[in-house]
Amino acid sequence: MPYFLWSPELSIGIKEIDLQHKSLIQAVNALYDAFQSEEGERDLSWIIHFLANYTVEHFATEEALMERIGYPRFNEHLRLHEELLQQVGAFLAKFNAGTAGISEDLLEFLKQWLLVHIGSEDKTLAKHVRGL
Ligand SMILES: [Fe+2]
């Protein structure tokens, strides 16, 4: 059983974004697996960097869509993305300096953030798109 299980309730009904969410969840699972196994330690760095870069790419996809349709909650949604990227950036700076490591708290934070964000903001965006 994966650490973070995709379920149909997480689908927002926009194919490109759903696929990206699945990839993000897979990357969180890869990070969890590497964290759990001793041999996985050498993989932690590239996985966390991949996850951070992919998150930037994914947010850019959503933000481009919001701009294209003149989404009324654009600023609020953007602020949530930027807050997370700031937190991730601060963590990576410490990780790269060797003063912070991957932890269960970090994994749980990422999982909960995605669950809440997809379930609220992303679904609200998708609902708006369907109503256009
Ligand atoms: Fe989002």
pLDDT in tens, 22-41: 999 999 999 999 999 999 99
Which position has the token pair 């990227």? 85
- 117 Cα–ligand 1 center, Å: 6
CA–centroid distance, residue 37 to ligand 1 (Å): 31
Distance from the CA of 48 to the center of ligand 1, in angstroms? 19
Residues with CB under 5 A from ligand 1 (ion): 62, 122
> Which residue from 52, 77, 54, 53 is spatially nearest to 128, judged by alpha carbons?
77
pLDDT band per the 50, 70, 90 thresholds, residue 10:
very high
118 — pLDDT class (breaks 50, 70, 90): very high
Q: pTM of whole model > 0.85?
A: yes
CA distance 32 to 56: 20
- Where along the chain do its domains lie? 13-130
What does the pLDDT read at residue 3?
Answer: 98
The CATH number of the structural domain formed by 13-130 is 1.20.120.50
Ligand 1 centroid to Cα of residue 120, in Å, is 9
pLDDT in tens, 49-101: 999 999 999 999 999 999 999 999 999 999 999 999 999 999 999 999 999 99
pLDDT for res 21: 98
Residue 54 burial class via C-beta count within 10 angstroms: exposed 0-12, middle 13-18, buried 19 and up:
middle
- Taking the C-alpha atoms of residue 43 and residue 90, their distance in angstroms, rounded to an integer, is 20
Q: How far is the CA of 42 from the centre of ligand 1 (A)?
A: 30
